[in-house]
Each structure stands twice: as structure tokens, then as C-alpha cells.
Amino acid sequence: MNIAFDAKRAFQNNTGLGNYSRTLISSLATYYPTHNYYLYAPKLTGMYATDTYRNMHTVLPEKRLHRWFRSAWRSKYVVGELAKKNISIYHGLSHEIPFGIHESGVKSVVTMHDLIFERYPGQYNPIDVLTYRRKAKYASQYADKIIAISEQTKEDLINYYNTPADKITVVYQSCDEMFAIKHTESRISEMRTKYKLPPVYFLYVGSIIERKNLLSIMKAMLQLKGNIDIPLVVLGNGSGYKKKVKEFVAAHDLSDRVIWLNEQAKFAYDDLPVLYQGAKALIYPSIFEGFGIPILEALWSRTPVITSKSSCFLETAGDAAVYIDPLQPQTLAEGMKLIVEDTEYVEELKIKGWAHAQLFTREKCAAGVIKVYESL
């Protein structure tokens, strides 16, 4: 088959959607090398190296008009090129497919990660909500098959858009295999020295936005103050909500216990598995996610996880996490205390986490996606 992808985020996004795109495309090219993979990208960057794959081809806008209006090329005009290039399937990797593709004769698949903008529209710019909704509704209605990254997302598609359940297949995502490599204490120590980190720390990884609930960690730390004073390393960026969190930290004399990693050093992505492995635990008290990739990265890294007992997190972490109520900081404080004091339980979590992570390998993800392609 000739399989095309919307590869914008593979080349331009260095977080969740970009990582999903790069990992999936590379996995398909590796485990199913008899197919040809065409990456339709508005522009190329150094974020994704494709030249090591002989069955992977990048496609850029060729016409002058399309180079001037790259966004329009990606969202609409690319349709006219697909049939001419004998594309069998077009896969939109992040909530959208080109408008008009349902009339082109080319089969389409879309990956839907979440409908958070429908659940919490107040946390988005109103214009963005309308844009996201228009694209997601079109994709849900006209894609031949939908891949949901969790049962939670499948349920939301059914509830919000009345999408037929038999049109949706849940295929869990994987993460970069570098998280599975176990690092030595010496390597972890080097990483701590490089970023001026303390020998013991909790870890938060993710955008600093209201839904991800960093403030609850600060409130839990305040409750533990004077008893358990392990600092929190924060890896992520934000604006308005981050300012709110910082104001709380300053007002309650917690500044010496919070390390804003992005502010003190340029963090190298290759160091992320080491950062996980050096942590006492990942704390991920998000209110809602489509999957929660940092949880999976932590499980692969053999790092204990404290996360919310809601949304998709029971799918992502299984029996390998300490579950808390994200709206009750007291439960989070109790979870942090448990991790610090019960070393036997921590070792049990690491073993369970590694075992649960095997459900989310690159090979299993690729096999699930290929099965969807073959059903068309």
C-alpha cells in the first residue's frame, strides 16, 4: 500500500502530538517495510530524520500558490494530489483530515487523541474551540475509520459527536524506546549535576495549564511542609496559570522547594529518561487527558507514578500507580508520603509499572494501526 500522513506535527511539534506522529510513522516503516509511506508536510525541519528509511518519502507543496498558503494546502488542496500519486490511504494523525477527501476516492483514517476542548471550552480561546470543533466533526463524520488512543476518547466521540462505535478502533499509543533503557547511578548523577538538581526530587512533566493541575501539587507540598520537604522539579512551560502557581509558591514560602527546569537550563530531550529515573516519583494530577503520555514514559522508566483516579488514567497506568483525587490535595499529600515511607511498595510499583508498560510497545501500536488500514 501507499500510505500518506499529515506530517505537519512530525516536523514541527516537539511534544505529545509530534512524538506520537514520529513514533508511529517510524514504527510502521520498521515493522511493515513492504508498504510505502508518504509524509505530507508544509515544511521540513531537523526535528524528524527520515533519510534512514528507504520506504519513507517526504512530500512538500510544489505549486507556488501552495507554497504561499501552506496551511490551505495541508487542509484542503492536498486532496487533489493524493489520487494522482496513487495513495491508498491518507492518515490524519491529529484530529483532522483534509476537507473534501471523502469525495476523492482515497480512503482516510484519523487519529483522535481527545475532545478536551469540548469538555472544557472555557480553557481555550473561543475561536480555537470553533476551529477545533469544525475539523474534528468533519473528520469524525467523513473519515472511513477512526483510531482513538483510549477508551475514554472513544466514549467522548460517541457522546459528543454521535460517532458510530463500530467506526472507532482503540489503538493505544507507545512512546520512544529510549525510556526503556535503564541508566546507571553514575549517569543519573551526571544528569543531576548538569541541571543542578538535588539528590532526591519529585517530578512533574507537562504543560503548565489549569487542567493539568500543578497547583494541587503545591498545595500538597504545603501540607507536607516540615515533615516531607522533598523538592519538585517542574519540566514544562506555561503563561497565565504558571503565574498563578508561582504566586502561590511565593506566598507560602515554597520557592526553595520548586525547581523550574526550563527557566534555569535548556533541557535536552535525550536526558528525559534519566530525569524520570532519578525521580522519587512522577506526579501527574491532571483533571482530564486523552491518554497521559508522561505516565507511560515513567512506567517505561521504572519510575513510580502518582496520578488521578479519573479520565483515562486507569487505562494508562493500570495497577501500577498511586491514585488520588486531583481536587483534594490531601489525597495527593498522602500519596507522596506513601512513596517516601514505603520502600517495599515502591519496588512493587516499579515491577508492576514495567509489566503494564509492555501493553504499549511500538510493535503492538503499529500492528493495531495496520489492522485498521487492512480493514478498509
Rounded Cα–Cα distance for residues 185 and 128 (Å): 45
Structural domains of the chain, with CATH: 2-174+361-374 (3.40.50.2000), 177-359 (3.40.50.2000)
Q: List all residues 6 or more positions away from 273 whose beta carbon is below 8 Å from its beta carbon.
A: 178, 179, 181, 183, 297, 300, 301
CA proximity to 94, closest of 204, 173, 210? 173
Backbone angles phi, psi at 106, to 5 degrees: -90, 130
Q: What gap in Å lies between CA 277 and CA 289, rounded to an integer?
A: 23
Cα 160 from chain centroid? 22
Query: 221-248 b/e with 16+ CB inside 10 Å = b?
Result: bbbbeeebebbbbbbbebeebbeebbeb
Per-residue pLDDT at 233: 97
Q: Which amino acid is at 179?
A: F
153/291 Cα distance (integer angstroms): 8
pLDDT for the residue numbered 176 = 82
- Return the C-alpha cell found at 338: 506513601
Whole-angstrom CA distances from 303 to 224, 275, 341 are 21, 10, 16
Alpha carbon distances (Å) from 70 to 79, 141, 194, 207: 13, 25, 40, 27
Q: Are strands 258-260 and 2-6 parallel, antiparallel or unpaired?
A: unpaired
Contacts 24+ apart (CB under 8 A), 325-329: 326/213, 326/216, 326/285, 326/286, 326/287, 327/216, 327/287, 329/216, 329/217, 329/219, 329/220, 329/223
CA pair distance 55, 196, nearest whole angstrom: 43
Q: pTM above the 0.85 mark?
A: yes
Q: How far apart are CA 148 and CA 155, in angstroms?
A: 9
Neighbour order of strands in the sheet with 202-205: 258-260, 232-235, 202-205, 282-284, 305-308, 322-324
Q: Number of H helices and number of E strands within the chain?
A: 18, 13
* Dist. CA 345–CA 367, nearest whole Å: 34
Tell me what pLDDT residue 303 has: 96
Task: Output the tens digit of pLDDT for each of the chain's 376 residues.
Answer: 999 999 999 998 877 788 899 999 999 999 999 999 999 999 888 889 888 899 999 988 888 878 888 888 898 889 988 988 899 999 999 999 999 999 999 999 999 999 999 998 988 889 999 999 999 999 999 999 999 999 999 999 999 999 999 999 999 999 888 999 999 999 999 999 999 999 999 999 999 999 999 999 999 999 999 899 999 999 999 889 999 999 999 999 999 999 999 998 789 889 999 999 999 999 999 998 888 899 999 999 999 999 999 878 989 999 999 999 999 999 999 999 999 999 999 999 999 999 999 999 999 999 999 999 999 9
Calculate Rg over the CA atoms of the chain: 21
Neighbours of 341 (CB within 10 A): 10
> Which pLDDT score, from 0 to 100, does residue 118 have?
94
Q: How deeply is 105 buried, as exposed, middle or buried, from its count of CB atoms within 10 A (0-12, 13-18, 19+)? A: exposed
CA of 84: how far to CAs of 18, 79, 107, in Å? 28, 9, 14
Which pLDDT does position 45 carry in this prediction? 87
The answer to whether 283 and 165 have CB atoms below 8 angstroms apart is no
